[in-house]
């Protein structure tokens, strides 16, 4: 049985922050990533939480990400913001952009943020949920190193490329939070199974010839299975257009892996659209969303995307999070080194 220790969200944030700073990350870059790590653990997405801190630290040390980077913001058009992440962490670049994106969306009705020369942004829904909590409809896109082969092909061309939609609710939390990748499952889950030596379910990944496999190592060398077949490939191409082509970032076929130390900075991108619902629907937006949500919740056992995360988040705030002891030991060794 896996040993765990229960940590509060503040303890998770502090541990993450100290580890990142210990390997040479500036405090300005470490803090937003540490905050996001705690929030990710609270939402129950362990594959993108503390488990990733040693990887982030390794990437700072090998130069895959610049821990001292200073992102640069520009406003090339009235409702358009761009940020050059300067091969640093995406979280600091997103924070810089969001500081202006939110008020700009309220004044213009809609505004966009394009980020290039970036890195893995973790859980995309974490970022769009922040827009929803500010009363804005948030759409987010982020591309990743190629891991999905096109329909009829066997060589990866696009990444797992998630998109996210966060819709503000009446209680200040997102009423709907869609956060899904173009693949059947996030690649990090296959990597997690590979580290643990566990087989993966059929339908998660394909081998080099495009055949289903239950071996995570084979799947990582082959292709992630697109969600819904050709429809998943379509989603991946949509995200690639939004997050890479529209931002001027690196295409997934040219980006270095988010795992391992080879290849230098991936220089991928993120794209966010923030919409003020009052500008398009006036006072009709909130009751329409509430009616839509109620139509789902009124059915036995039915749930909306994001409901599970919301429940886990509330429990975590009160009870803390059970974290893998081995992961904590790795992080504590980084801090003590």
Give the residue carrying structure tokens 């058009």: 77
Strands 110-118 and 80-84: parallel
Catalytic residue among 13, 189, 223, 240: 189
Catalytic residue among 8, 47, 79, 154: 47
Active site residue 118: no
Catalytic residue among 16, 48, 59, 223: 48
**Does residue 115 sit in helix, strand or coil?**
strand
Contacts of 323 (CB under 8 A, 6+ apart): 4, 5, 6, 7, 12, 41, 46, 49, 50
Beta-bridged to residue 179, according to DSSP, are: 164
d(CA 329, CA 53): 12
Active site residue 47: yes
d(CA 81, CA 223): 34
For 186-238, give the DSSP string. -HHHHHHHHHHT----TTSEE-TTS-EES-HHHHHHSEEPBTTTHHHHHHHHH
Task: Give CA separation, 67 vs 29, 85, 91, 111, in Å.
Answer: 7, 11, 12, 28
Beta-bridged to residue 137, according to DSSP, are: 275
Active site residue 189: yes
Paired tokens of 243: 């997050």
d(CA 80, CA 97): 10
Which residues are catalytic, by number? 47-48, 189
């Amino acid at each position: 049985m896996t040993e765990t220790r229960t940590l509060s969200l503040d303890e998770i944030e502090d541990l993450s922050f100290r580890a990142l700073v210990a390997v040479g990350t500036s405090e300005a870059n470490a803090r937003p990533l540490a905050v996001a790590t705690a929030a990710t653990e609270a939402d129950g997405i362990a594959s993108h939480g503390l488990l990733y801190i040693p990887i982030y630290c390794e990437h700072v040390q090998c130069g895959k990400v610049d821990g001292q980077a200073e992102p640069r913001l520009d406003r090339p058009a009235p409702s358009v913001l761009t940020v050059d992440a300067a091969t640093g962490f995406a979280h600091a670049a997103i924070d810089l952009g969001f500081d202006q994106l939110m008020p700009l969306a309220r004044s213009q009705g809609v505004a966009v943020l394009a980020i290039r020369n970036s890195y893995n942004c973790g859980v995309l829904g974490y970022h769009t949920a922040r827009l929803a909590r500010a009363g804005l409809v948030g759409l987010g896109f982020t591309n990743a190193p190629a891991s999905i082969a096109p329909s009829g092909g066997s060589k990866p061309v696009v990444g797992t490329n998630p998109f996210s939609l966060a819709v503000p609710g009446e209680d200040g939390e997102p009423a709907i939070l869609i956060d899904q990748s173009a693949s059947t499952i996030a690649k990090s889950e296959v990597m997690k199974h590979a580290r643990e030596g566990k087989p993966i379910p059929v339908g998660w990944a394909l081998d080099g010839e495009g055949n289903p496999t239950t071996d995570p190592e084979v799947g990582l060398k082959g292709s992630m299975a697109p969600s819904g077949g050709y429809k998943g490939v379509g989603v991946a191409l949509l995200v690639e257009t939004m997050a890479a082509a529209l931002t001027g970032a690196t295409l997934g076929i040219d980006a270095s892996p988010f795992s391992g130390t080879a290849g230098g900075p991936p220089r991928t991108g993120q794209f966010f659209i923030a919409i003020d619902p009052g500008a398009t629907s006036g006072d009709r937006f909130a009751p329409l969303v509430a009616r839509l949500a109620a139509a789902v919740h009124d059915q036995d056992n039915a749930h909306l995307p994001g409901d599970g995360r919301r429940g886990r988040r509330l429990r975590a705030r009160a009870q803390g999070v059970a974290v893998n002891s081995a992961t904590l030991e790795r992080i504590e060794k980084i801090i003590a080194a």
